[in-house]
Structure 1
């Protein structure tokens, strides 16, 4: 067992847990929790001096940033989940950057103001504005899924789908957003119906 995923499943580490489960890896899970100060303890800071989770260790390799970890795991262990050639590699990188720059930020705002914050702290106007601004990204995603036969790269489920889905995940407080885009809605049902996804979510308590 060489791969260890460090970070509670109630964090972005769940992205890496999902990937590991999809790959059928015999991995160890070290549930370091930032909420109780675990990520600021010396042994964890030796892995990630930023004190953020997740981190991954694999045969002496230590890597941080959850989306990058997923690309690494897919390339090393992924078979069909990883890229088959340079073009697919570039496309998986493209979709990962798209998720991080176009989807995750608005998604976090949506999660906070639709679900997480106390109701008296929620800003309905900000929420509506954020969802409206996210439409351009969701339209792009919807067109790509239509063109790709329901998947983002190579006509099959890959690391790109996991990385994008884990940023779309932040919109779960407003399911009408995903439902507004037919190809995104079908894709979302497909990815969240996967046994490995369900196992990762179960570790969160979701």
Structure 2
């Protein structure tokens, strides 16, 4: 059985959403991020990304990691693309061209969108007053995102999905990265087709199941 190492409040959410979409059974080992613990190296600390048992799987000390029939993968996008090819049916590629396009959109999201989207996620807190420095960092990140989001908007203005005529792993990978910036309305309101697509992705039962599981975990 597939094993996913990592709490759902991490990039493991991408893998778990995919598994729910395709009905793929898995075992989850709830490895928590070390930075969320006061002393991750304490003898009684829960299993975390500093734990020797986890570092034996992921020398980089990062979640998620999957194990599948002896294969160990420690990058979430590699894991989703691999699982979609192996188990995903219509969510995976039907030929080499679709495979290339699914990788293209996944890598574009990771390289051109995710770093600045994460800045917005971590610093654009609705519940606290931001410092001037934080406000400037968020504004700069949002400005840098305009160019890549214009690319996404242009693509989704004429189609419902990223690749082919169906929902696929490419949609999952991009949607989970765009979610980081979703709460910053000043940016996202500029891209109505992208927002409509993102809301459609997040209305899927498999996403809702993953999100309920994520919400049940401690913050």
Question: Where on the TM-score scale, by shorter chain, does this alignment land: which range?
Answer: over 0.9
Alignment partners' CA distance in 2, 1:163 and 1:102: 13
Whether 2:94 is the aligned partner of 1:84: answer: yes
Residues 145 and 151 of structure 1 are in contact (CA less than 8 Å); yes or no, is this contact kept in structure 2? yes
More helix by share: 1
Distance 1:156 1:68, change over 3 A: same
Aligned to 1:26: 25
Alignment partners' CA distance in 1, 2:213 and 2:17: 10
1:117 deviates by 9.1
Further displaced range: 127-136 or 114-123: 114-123
Bigger CA radius of gyration: 2
CA RMSD, Structure 1 to Structure 2 (Å): 1.7
Distance 1:190 1:120, change over 3 A: closer
Superposition TM-score, scaled by structure 1 size: 0.93
SS in 2 for 1:123: helix
Structure 2 matches for 1:119-130, cutoff 5 A? Answer: 119-121=129-131, 123-130=134-141
1:132 deviates by 1.6
Further displaced range: 9-18 or 123-132: 123-132
Superposition TM-score, scaled by structure 2 size: 0.88
Alignment partners' CA distance in 2, 1:49 and 1:81: 30
Structure 2 matches for 1:150-165, cutoff 5 A? Answer: 150-165=160-175
